[in-house]
Structure 1
Amino acid sequence: MAEYASGETQTATLIDLAALRPSQTLVAFDRRELSEILNVYGRMVAAGEWRDYAIDMLKDQAVFSIFRRTSEMPIYRIEKNPKLARRQGAFSVVAAGGLVMKRGHDLAQVLRVFDRQLKQV
């Protein structure tokens, strides 16, 4: 309670702001998925192909973007879209121009698209 100079008393009402916010669940890579992605990323960094990455967690998909240089557009995006899990597969590798290089249900299988590239170098 707060008491003012005029003698009035007022009570404060606490409002839980978290309860008022709409609950947004974000899509994220789990530990196993992120480990698989970072294994491929580490091999490509060691080969001198890639230099930087970014992770975006959105409400409908998670994106791991791969950059050749920090200031450029991503050369590849590894996407996890749970809405496509029953159809084409939740995971996909997308090239810079928007071409879907590989799509599937198993992340390890989808990431094998980079193994072929590593052999060609």
Structure 2
Amino acid sequence: MTVQPPTPFPIHNTLQEQVSFDRKELSVILALYGRMVAAGEWRDYGIAALRDMAVFSVFRRTAEHPLYRIEKRPKLRTRQGMYSVTGMDGQVLRRGHDLAAVIKVLEKKLIRPID
């Protein structure tokens, strides 16, 4: 009977990096979120860190589909920009390289006429 050494697991293939928002990006997003919550427009959010993208979803109520999704896709960094804002129907509202400039499309929803 011969004893064989254990076969090492290929760690680099099984555990792949996740894409996530860094502290600076989250502070920009959460500043907008705080203003929209204070205005009564948004009530809940969700964050997902996936293998190819990170998503910040905004909800009016907890149990419904997200109103908007702020996505970060690093693979699109050299093309259209890695940040995008997607509406409830799946339409991309804005895309670009600068997160603050991309989420300005959502700040326009905050401005309303006074009755």
TM-score (norm 1): 0.83
Structure 1 CA distance for aligned equivalents of residues 12 and 83 of structure 2: 33
Q: Secondary structure at the match of 1:45?
A: helix
* Counterpart residue type for residue 109 of structure 1: A
**Residue of structure 1 in register with 2:56 after alignment:** 64
Question: How large is the RMSD of aligned CA atoms in angstroms?
Answer: 1.9
Which TM-score applies when normalising by structure 2?
A: 0.87
1:37 aligns with 2:67: no
Report the Cα distance in structure 2 between the residues aligned to 1:43 and 1:56, rounded to whole angstroms: 22
Report whether the alignment pairs 1:120 with 2:112: yes
Distance 1:57 1:83 in 2: 15
- Residue 96 of structure 2 corresponds to residue 104 of structure 1: yes
Who is 1:54 aligned against?
46
Alignment partner, residue 91 of structure 1: 83
C-alpha deviation, 1:114, in angstroms: 1.4
Tell me, in whole angstroms, the C-alpha distance in 2 between the residues paired with 1:61 and 1:22. 18
- For structure 2, which runs of at least 5 residues remain unmatched after alignment? none
Does 2:16 correspond to 1:24?
yes
Give how far 1:72 is off.
Answer: 0.4
Quote the sequence identity (%): 55
Letter in 1 for 2:66: P
Structure 1: how far apart are the matches of 2:59 and 2:6?
47
In 2, Cα distance between equivalents of 1:71 and 1:95: 17
Query: Gaps spanning 5+ residues in structure 1: where?
Result: 1-12
Q: Which amino acid aligns with 1:73?
A: H
Report runs of 4+ in structure 1 exceeding 3 Å deviation. Answer: 13-21
Aligned partners of 2:6, 2:38: CA distance in 1, in Å?
54
| Number of residue-to-residue matches in the alignment | 110
- 1:115 CA drift (Å): 1.7
